[in-house]
Amino acid sequence: MVLALGWSVHAESAEHVVPFVSAPSVGTLECPNQVIRPKPQTPPPPREAPPVDAQIPTIAELGPLAQTVIREQPSIDPQTIPAMALRNPEQPRHIAIWGDSHIAAGPFMPTLLEALRMDGITIGAYYLPPTMGRANVHLPQLRTACVGPGWNTELSYTSAPSLTSGPALANRTAVAGPDSYLWLDLRSTSSRSAIRQLRIVYRASVHSVLDLSVNDGDESHIPLEASSDSQALTLRGDASISTIKLRLTQGSVTLYGFVLDYVNQPALTFDVFGLPSATIRGWANADPDYLRRSLQGVNYDGVILEYGTNEGNDLHFDRGRYASTLTQALSNLRRVFPYASCVLIGPPDRGVLRDRGASRNLLMFGRIHQQIEVTQREVGRHFGCVTWNWQDLMGGPGGSYGWFYASPSLMGHDLTHLSSDGYKQTGRALARSLGWWR
């Protein structure tokens, strides 16, 4: 049934009414030009033992390094991270994590969040990053997204310093045209809508116009305010938001993300800003004042940074240069979140494949990762950040080999990323250290 309910769209202090279909009747998003390919009918790989890989050092070559070690990590003193003591909080808490491919996709973050849900804590997203549709990025807050090919990405960690970035440290940009569409389904897996208000955070050129549809309603043409600073377009109506469809019809826009407000506020919001190949340089390059303004009032009680694997890929790693970059990054972080509880997660262990010289030095990456963790600990304490040693969980330098030869395997075939079971193991271990899981 179509209802002529009113949506207030606030832009340039003007109010526009958008009619929309009632939430229970909103259809499933079907992306334009989507090609659905049948999944190949192949049996799942056996879990008893990892298959033979010619690039992996053999058990005989590894000797004691082939033994699997899972070293229990100490609990983090809750007095050092008081805002992350989440049992029976007196008011809603807001936490965010930034990092690389380890958190961008896969079961690490879902396992960590599930530990909280098992304790009866309701969880939602607060600031939804604009990275939907990028390879190997999974946003658990989003049911479905359709992203047109007209959207490009600016990455803070590959850009020049003082990038005008939003909190995702990745901006999406588009110019007007048919490929500038972006559709989002914000319902839960049970098809329920929990969002009462949504703010689109952006920066637009002069004379930019957005075509916008809420809950399959008719399109409205919304003029966007041009400014050198970030702006917010607020959607608020008489029913909850299930889907939005937007497309730029004039001008150009830089999209920073979406701020979500709920019908029933969850006890915890946990935002995941994960980007494959990302480094701590993303925070070092960001303009902290602009980033703070682009948050549009969002603040975090606790912040977690998970970086180091991509920095450790440099065989000429310079610890002093890394310490300088980390210092700049944490300085910027504290200018944005001066009072937030802070945790730094060092990189997991990394092994060496044969084509990277395994016969010469099995620990060449492991030793670099160890230096990164030590540097994080030394620099982090000056900014009120505690550290969690992922490599030590795996037994220290060389632990990746034992995790690979575990049954089931806990390490991926690149000896850099973990297997699904390895990420689950890590998520549970971190939850225990944070006091989130018994």
Quote the tokens at residue 402. 């034992």
**Complete domains list, the chain, with CATH:** 2-20+69-433 (3.40.50.1110)
What does each C-alpha distance from 36 to 31, 32, 33, 191 come to in angstroms? 10, 11, 10, 22
Please report, in tens digits, the pLDDT of each residue of the chain (438 residues total): 232 334 444 443 333 333 344 445 788 888 887 654 555 555 544 444 444 566 899 999 999 999 999 999 999 999 999 999 887 667 889 999 999 999 999 999 999 999 999 988 999 999 999 999 999 999 987 899 999 999 999 999 999 888 899 999 999 999 999 999 999 999 877 667 889 999 999 999 999 999 999 988 888 899 999 999 999 999 987 788 999 999 999 999 999 999 999 999 999 999 999 999 999 999 999 999 999 999 999 999 999 999 999 999 999 999 999 999 999 999 999 999 999 999 999 999 999 998 755 457 999 999 999 999 999 999 999 999 999 999 999 999 999 999 999 999 999 999 999 999 999 999 999 999 999 987
Pairing of strands 268-274, 93-99: parallel
DSSP string, 139-152: -TT-SEEEE-TT-E
Percent of the chain as helix, strand, coil, to the nearest 5:
25, 25, 45
> What is the pTM for the complete model shown?
0.91
Distance CA(300)–CA(273), nearest Å, equals 13
For residues 235 and 200, the answer to whether their CB atoms sit within 8 Å is yes
> Rounded CA gap, 124 and 127, in Å?
10
Report CA-CA distances (Å) from 133 to 153, 157, 250, 256. Answer: 11, 19, 23, 15
> What are the strands, taking DSSP E only, across 251-298?
252-262, 268-274
> In this structure, what token pair is assigned to residue 359?
């016969």
